[in-house]
């Protein structure tokens, strides 16, 4: 097991990490990932200027820390999430990046710079994967953040086309004083359907010796975590789509029933006043089979009330401000899980299993007694 002399770097070593995911990685997903065993969770990428201009408040009703711009909540943070939470920003400018980091660092334990996003919006703005080919700018951003932030700074990159170019880049990144490096093992132009190049990570791990390297790409099951570490030599593992489908991917006892997890997701989303459109979007990512009953019902759902009906939540699960302040994230999620399971009226009669298509994984289906025990 790799250890690192620097205590901030050590906090990123030997970890299973929820990857940054725009739209999907909002608070309910992060809470569930933590409940099921993730060691660290990243916010979705937020653009530096957006967070600078946001107003911070503690929601008096829910106790959640909120960053709001023009009435839109850009970021929700659970008051007990801070030890596990990394804020990821999109940026192209050292000074603006620093302002963004200073605006949010009181609520998080790390600041990450996204150097992997291949989208047109990011590239045109000199952000994301554009930074991979602008090392001078990236160096200035990282050095500025490292010099002035009170929390560790990290960055997440993609591979360059050749190993020598990638090695030059990662050595430069290591020299800036960042505390960890996450590598999405695809190049800028490769799509998610193309296999991640775990084989290309080993030389990077060998070259970057002072900070943990985090392997990312195609880790879909708990067993893949050990396999990815063994093959690449990376210290830690970061999971995106595997957690999007079922955030219990972090659970060492195997995945929980995915319908149960979706129920828990809804219970938590309602309790913390997650935006309906966001809740619905993320749930639809959890039901990839467009012909499934849940997917069909979700496409038509227009309100939180409809979600409660689809997911069989009679009473909304509620979290008091005191609970949020004094309970752990895991406690809240366990309560939400119990709430999702315990139905005084009809708990003893489990629903009949719905027919499964042959392609559908066997853990998809209504909650079962076994699934509850597995949590």
Ligand X SMILES: Cc1cc2nc3c(=O)[nH]c(=O)nc-3n(C[C@H](O)[C@H](O)[C@H](O)COP(=O)(O)O)c2cc1C
**Residues identified as active-site:** 117
- Which of 129, 183, 240, 261 is in the footprint of ligand X by CB under 6 A? 240
CA-to-CA dists, residue 141 to 105, 135, 178, 271, angstroms: 16, 10, 11, 37
User: What is the rounded CA–CA span in Å between residue 49 and residue 45?
Assistant: 12
CA-to-CA dists, residue 352 to 4, 321, 349, 365, 367, angstroms: 51, 37, 9, 10, 10
State the binding string over 24-63 for ligand X (x if CB under 6 A, else -): x-------------------xx------------------
367 touches ligand X by CB under 6 A: no
What crossing angle do the helices spanning 258-271 and 329-341 adopt, rounded to 10°?
A: 110
The residues in 140-169 that bind ligand X, with binding defined as CB under 6 A, are: 156
H or E stretch at 31? helix 27-35
88 touches ligand X by CB under 6 A: yes
The residues in 105-134 that bind ligand X, with binding defined as CB under 6 A, are: 114, 116-117
Decide whether 276 or 281 has the Cβ nearer to ligand X: 281
The residues in 173-232 that bind ligand X, with binding defined as CB under 6 A, are: 184, 192, 216-219
Decide whether 20 or 365 has the Cβ nearer to ligand X: 20
The residues in 294-353 that bind ligand X, with binding defined as CB under 6 A, are: none
User: Which tokens hold the place of 120?
Assistant: 């047109």
Decide whether 62 or 258 has the Cβ nearer to ligand X: 258
264 touches ligand X by CB under 6 A: no
Q: Starting at the earlier edge strand, list the strands of the sheet with 55-58.
A: 55-58, 65-69, 72-77
| Sign (positive or negative) of CA dihedral 323, 325, 331, 335 | positive
Q: Which stretch binds ligand X (CB under 6 A): 14-22, 56-64, 94-102, 292-300?
A: 14-22
Q: What are phi and psi of 299, to 5 degrees?
A: -60, -30
Residues found near ligand X in the complex (CB under 6 A)? 19-22, 24, 44-45, 88, 114, 116-117, 156, 184, 192, 216-219, 239-242, 244
């Amino acid at each position: 097991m790799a250890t690192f002399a620097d205590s901030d770097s050590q906090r990123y070593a030997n970890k299973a990490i929820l990857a940054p995911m725009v739209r999907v990685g909002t608070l309910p997903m992060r809470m569930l990932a933590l409940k099921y065993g993730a060691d660290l969770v990243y916010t979705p990428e937020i653009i530096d200027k957006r967070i600078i201009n946001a107003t911070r408040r503690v929601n008096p009703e829910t106790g959640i820390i909120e960053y709001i711009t023009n009435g839109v909540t850009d970021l929700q943070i659970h008051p007990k999430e801070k030890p596990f939470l990394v804020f990821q920003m999109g940026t192209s400018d050292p000074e603006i990046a620093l302002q963004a980091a200073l605006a949010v660092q009181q609520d998080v334990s790390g600041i990450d710079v996204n150097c992997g996003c291949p989208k047109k919006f990011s590239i045109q703005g000199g952000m994301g994967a554009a930074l991979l080919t602008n090392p001078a700018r990236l160096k200035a951003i990282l050095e500025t953040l490292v010099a002035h932030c009170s929390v560790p700074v990290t960055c997440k990159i993609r591979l360059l086309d050749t190993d020598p170019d990638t090695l030059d880049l990662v050595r430069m990144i290591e020299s800036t004083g960042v505390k960890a490096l996450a590598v999405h093992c695809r190049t800028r132009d490769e799509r998610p359907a193309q296999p991640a190049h775990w084989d290309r990570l080993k030389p990077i791990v060998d070259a970057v010796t002072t900070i943990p390297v985090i392997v990312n790409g195609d880790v879909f099951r708990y067993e893949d975590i050990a396999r990815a570490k063994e093959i690449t030599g990376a210290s830690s593992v970061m999971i995106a789509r595997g957690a999007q489908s079922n955030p219990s991917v972090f659970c060492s006892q195997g995945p929980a029933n995915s319908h149960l997890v979706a129920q828990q997701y809804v219970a938590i989303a309602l309790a913390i006043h997650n935006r309906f459109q966001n809740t619905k979007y993320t749930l639809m990512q959890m039901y990839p089979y467009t012909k499934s009953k849940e997917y069909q019902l979700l496409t038509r759902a227009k309100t939180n009330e409809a979600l409660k009906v689809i997911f069989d939540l009679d009473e909304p699960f509620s979290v008091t401000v005191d609970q949020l302040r004094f309970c752990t994230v895991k406690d809240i999620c366990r309560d939400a899980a119990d709430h999702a399971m315990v139905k005084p009226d009809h708990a003893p009669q489990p629903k009949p299993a719905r027919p499964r298509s042959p392609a559908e994984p066997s853990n998809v289906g209504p909650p079962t007694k076994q699934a509850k025990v597995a949590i």
